[in-house]
Amino acid sequence: MPENFKAPLILASASPRRRELLAGAGYEFTAVFPDIDESSFSAGSAEPAQYAERLALAKAKSTARKYPDSLIIGADTIVDFQGRIIGKPADAEDARQIVQLLFSEPHKVVTGLAICRFRDGLEIVAHEITMIYPKQLTQRQIDEHIESGRWIDKSGAYAIKENGDEFIERIEGSLTNVMGMPMELLGRLLDDVIHDK
């Protein structure tokens, strides 16, 4: 956490993992569910990183209007498979297809990050990219993963643990980014806000 950080902070997210990461880093914050319909956002011709940033900013701005004096953090994590945007699976069959695709080749996890404050029009948007090198999964491992339900509400139909993952050979970049909140990037952005005010 940046030194001397005192601003009221709100996380515009329902993600338990993002709350855990912020709390674990020592931030004092309130979590608020963002009032947006993610399914209404079409990627169109946007690059994966642009799309993640757009969603993160929408989440932050929708919350900033209700809490004009607070710093609002919005985040959105997607998977970039060779330029194709992979979000959260719609159902078990969709999850199966996603897992079979992603665990065949290296792919990127992209998190868009936005910080807003309504009272002074502050808007900062950035993103973090982590490269994932997966292990080759057997059909049995895929079946067990789908049956477990651990894919539900997870971009790319999987989640990585703090101590690594049985499905991941290695990663290049931020582990917390893959978990849904790039804490290193967040710290730098909040530090910039403090020194610019």
Residue located via tokens 């809490």:
67
Cβ-proximal residues to 187 (8 Å cutoff; 6+ apart), any chain:
1, 2, 25
Spatial contact of 4 and 168, defined as CB atoms under 8 Å apart = no
Q: How far apart are the first and last CA of the chain?
A: 17
Angle at 117 between CA 52 and CA 119, to 5 degrees: 145
| Consecutive H or E run containing 149 | none
DSSP 161: B
**Does the active-site annotation cover 76?**
yes
Catalytic residue among 76, 143, 165, 192: 76
Spatial distance between the Cα atoms of 185 and 187, rounded to a whole number of angstroms: 5
Which tokens belong to 83?
Answer: 């330029």
Q: DSSP labels for 54-101?
A: HHHHHHHHHHHTTSTTSEEEEEEEEEEETTEEE---SSHHHHHHHHHH
Please give the radius of gyration of the chain, using alpha carbons only, rounded to the nearest integer: 17
Which residues are the active-site residues?
76
